[in-house]
Amino acid sequence: MNLFNEDNFLHQFFLFLGKLIALNLLWMISSIPVITIGASTTALYYCTLKLHKDKDISAWKFFWKSFSGNFLQSTLIWAMLLAAALLLWLEKIAISTMPDGAKQIFTYVLTAMGIILVLMSLYVFPTVASFENKTGKLFSHALYFIFRQPLYAVAMAGITCLPMYFTIVDMELFPVYLFVWLMCGFSLTAYVDSWFLWRLFRPFFKEEE
């Protein structure tokens, strides 16, 4: 077996792994200011979606192309999501002072709104990465994709949130989780999520063509 043959499985695997590591590093570095997390997440999904579409990309070139091209819109959306999360947190504090009956009802409402916010956060940045439109339209498109395939939404939420949950609660394996996150955890999660997203988005690309 010639390990240096470009058609060799191991060669292709390590080439793919290298792209994931590069994208992971780019995402973490460009997210350091915090306010840029929206733009860096959009750029990450732009690249992972293109990996599903084109199989091979220049991580550096395409990441910064999307980061700069979608910076303002993605940053605005990120700020809106943060504001919505803050409002939900304040509502949670307010609910704690209510009578038990009202508290239970509003807790259910708040939980439903929190789930929608989490799902919107998962879908809106890939939508920005894939489609050009006004911000309000992109939110409505993201909501449409959530309900178009609800099982996809459940799968993506599990793939994204469960590893984070185990990282926080499993202190014994925390160093292992941390190593994976720093190496390729974020980009790998985005790549797996993009498997579902690409199947949702692909019919619309065909219509545009």
Segment holding 97, helix H or strand E: none
- Report residue 7: phi and psi, to 5°: -90, -5
Q: Is residue 174 part of a domain?
A: yes
User: Number of folded domains in the chain?
Assistant: 1
> Looking at residue 208, what is its pLDDT?
45
In a domain, 3, yes or no: no
96: helix, strand or coil: coil
Q: Which residues contact 142 (CB under 8 A, 6 or more apart)?
A: 120, 123, 124, 127
Whether residue 200 lies inside any domain: the answer is yes
Q: pLDDT digits over 58-76, tens only? A: 999 999 999 999 999 999 9
Residue 16 covered by a domain: yes
Model pTM score: 0.92
Does 158 fall in a domain? yes
| Whole-number CA gyration radius for the chain | 19
Confidence of residue 5 (pLDDT cuts 50, 70, 90): low
* Residue span of the structural domain in which 41 resides: 9-208
Alpha-carbon distance 29 to 37, whole Å?
10
For 73-91, the pLDDT digits (tens) are 999 999 999 999 999 999 8
- The answer to the question of residue 2 being in a domain is no
